[in-house]
Amino acid sequence: MLTVVTFLPLLVCAVLLLLPRSLPDRVLVWTWIATAAADLALVVALWVGFDPDGGMQYQQRVRWIPSAGVGYHVGVDGLSLPLVALTCLLFLAVAVHSLRERRRVRSYVCLFLFLQTVSVGLFVALDLILFFVFFDLSIVGMFFVIAGWGHGERARAAALKFFLYTFIGSLALLLGFIGLYLAADPHTFDIVDLTHSNPLAGRGLYASLVLLAIGVGLAVKTPTVPFHTWLPPAHTDAPATGSAILAGVLLKMGTYGFVRIAMPLLPGSWRHYALVIVIVGAVSVVYGALVALAQTDFKRMIAYTSVNHMGYIILAVGAAGTLAGSDAQARSLAVTGAVTQMVSHGLITGALFLLAGVLHDRGRTYTMDAYSGLAAHTPRFAAVTAVAAFASLGIPGFSGFIAEFQIFAGSLASQAIATAIAVTGILITAALFLTALRRMFLGTPRLPETISAGGVGDLRGTEALSTVSLLAVALVIGVAPRWLLDVIEPASRTLTGLVAR
């Protein structure tokens, strides 16, 4: 079943490439929508049959490169299943949002179908080389999305910067994987086998260097300070749909790598450097929020809030490696909050980037000072953007509050100072979103010169459906989170037990 979920979009992509060129653009996009909906339905079926206390499930193993210890091994547990579901939901929302796309639609649809396969593939991969293959292919797919459908020449420069940064990070990641392989006896890249054998226990400097390589590779993808500089231009110059997938799915590849690979495979080194990881997380939270506050570009502001929100996840996983001053329940709560934050950020920030695309579609600029009093012209757009903004800053009733509450509660016992510093990020985030809403939606109506006072249109049906559906799921998680937490919590307890070995 997992193989079908993973490769169904790629199979449809191959079929679309073989169909006649005369096929209407809307047929291509509707085929994408149907594929994304079918994939999401399959994931819902997996979720219904999933046993939260059953560990790794739906596993499939096939020999791939046996002489090198590489196999096709996939499966899901409570850490990966929510991210697979998030991926399929977000790609479906982006597909619906793309119904008005008119530029090279066949290539556009196929690229996103390809990206969906590599994204789902990474979250279900249980072999380090399989993980790396999907990790690298995601870079290639997003490079072409940014360069081909972004905003002019700047998009191509931003795409190149994105590719170089993240590709160099992936090379560091590969070095770390080879280090794990060489330490294992017998040599293997299988994540489950490496978790059981813990090959780097007591290896001192060697284990530290492996963690450094893996940590740098994942930190670039996440991204954390100081490896974040590729993110703002990539987001600003990418199409809105590309930004939604980049923030909602691709950034999670880095944070997921920490909980799937770095923590369980290198528990001793993770505990030893937990304070460094916590500091990086706290700095990312505050830095991302402060720089976002200084932005005049709406989309760039949202990009920096991603650095801020990823910082909360790094803080939590670092605190989960701190045994002194904490108990197993607190560490498990921190990991649960981190995974919930991955889901929450994907939903809310994905919606925000799609809304930023609506803004650019109307006025051809993201500059906040070019707009004023938009609420008078576009009340639905203003209302949905305001809801997304409040959800992003962690107001109760949305998934962000559930995630951040768990992160702070789980981290406070062992990392009180860093957690207190990170809490200030919420205040700064509130200030920046309230400032943005006041600038664009309140006051005397003012519009860019590219549109007349009566020419700005409100949210269209497909735009509303794609954004409101994401926010609705964030609301459901915020009001009734047990259906999600019951899946995540057993896996979090297992992970913290592995880290404490």
3-state SS string for 85-144: HHHHHHHHHHHHHHHHCCCCHHHHHHHHHHHHHHHHHHHHECEHHHHHHHHHHHHHHHHH
Angstrom distances, CA of residue 462 to CA of 42, 58, 444: 23, 34, 29
Angstrom distances, CA of residue 477 to CA of 68, 235, 253, 348: 43, 26, 22, 12
Angstrom distances, CA of residue 93 to CA of 90, 115, 297, 387, 430: 5, 14, 24, 17, 26
Asked if 496 and 263 touch (Cβ cutoff 8 Å), the reply is no
Buried b (16+ CB within 10 A) or exposed e, 145-182: bbbbbbbeeebbebbebbbebbeebbebbbbbbebbbe
HSE-up (13 A, CA, CB side) for residue 390: 11
Label residue 452 by pLDDT band (50, 70, 90).
low
Residue 25 reports pLDDT greater than 70: yes
The Cα 214–Cα 203 span in angstroms is 16
Q: What are phi and psi of 125, to 5 degrees?
A: -65, 135
Q: Is 454 exposed, middle or buried (0-12, 13-18, 19+ CB in 10 A)?
A: exposed
Helix ranges (DSSP H) in 260-297: 263-265, 267-272, 274-293
Kindly report whether the global pTM for this prediction surpasses the value 0.85. yes
Asked if 256 and 343 touch (Cβ cutoff 8 Å), the reply is no
Mean pLDDT of 445-463: 74
- What is the residue-averaged pLDDT of the chain? 92
- The predicted pLDDT at position 131 comes to 96
Q: What's the domain count of the chain?
A: 1
- The predicted pLDDT at position 286 comes to 95
Mean pLDDT of 41-67: 93
Helix ranges (DSSP H) in 378-481: 379-392, 399-412, 416-441, 461-479
Label residue 155 by pLDDT band (50, 70, 90).
confident
- The predicted pLDDT at position 455 comes to 62
Percent pLDDT > 90 in the chain is: 74
Mean pLDDT of 7-20: 92
User: 73 forms bridges with which residues in the sheet?
Assistant: 61
Omega within 30 of 0 (cis) for the link into 223 = yes
- The predicted pLDDT at position 362 comes to 82
- The predicted pLDDT at position 443 comes to 81
Mean pLDDT of 369-390: 91
Mean pLDDT of 218-238: 90
Residue 96 reports pLDDT greater than 60: yes
Please name the residues in contact with 130: beta carbons below 8 A apart, sequence gap of 6 or more: 64, 70, 71, 72, 73, 74, 121
The Cα 17–Cα 442 span in angstroms is 47
- The predicted pLDDT at position 450 comes to 65
Label residue 10 by pLDDT band (50, 70, 90).
very high
Mean pLDDT of 357-370: 86
Please name the residues in contact with 232: beta carbons below 8 A apart, sequence gap of 6 or more: 300, 303, 304
Please name the residues in contact with 455: beta carbons below 8 A apart, sequence gap of 6 or more: none
Q: What are phi and psi of 101, to 5 degrees?
A: -65, 135
The model's pLDDT over 477-492, given as tens digits with 9 standing for 90+, comes to 999 999 999 999 999 9
Domain range for residue 184? 2-499
Mean pLDDT of 219-224: 92
Please name the residues in contact with 23: beta carbons below 8 A apart, sequence gap of 6 or more: 106
Three-state DSSP class for residue 61: strand
The Cα 96–Cα 195 span in angstroms is 40
Mean pLDDT of 341-358: 95
Length of the chain, in residues: 501
Mean pLDDT of 431-443: 91
More confident residue, 210 or 100: 210
Given the DSSP bridges, would you call strands 70-76 and 57-65 parallel, antiparallel or unpaired? antiparallel
Asked if 193 and 127 touch (Cβ cutoff 8 Å), the reply is no
Q: What are phi and psi of 37, to 5 degrees?
A: -65, -40
Label residue 454 by pLDDT band (50, 70, 90).
low
Q: How many helices (H) and strands (E) does the chain have?
A: 22, 2
The model's pLDDT over 282-331, given as tens digits with 9 standing for 90+, comes to 999 999 999 999 999 999 999 999 999 999 999 999 999 988 777 889 99
- The predicted pLDDT at position 363 comes to 81
Angstrom distances, CA of residue 30 to CA of 25, 244, 470, 488: 9, 19, 19, 33
Percent pLDDT > 70 in the chain is: 99
Mean pLDDT of 197-209: 89
- The predicted pLDDT at position 372 comes to 86
- The predicted pLDDT at position 66 comes to 87
> For residue 57, is it left (φ>0), alpha (ψ between -120 and 50) or beta?
beta
Residue 458 reports pLDDT greater than 80: yes
- The predicted pLDDT at position 451 comes to 67
- Output the six-digit token pair for 273: 């450097």
Nearest Cα residue to 402 out of 345, 349, 355: 345
The Cα 77–Cα 186 span in angstroms is 25
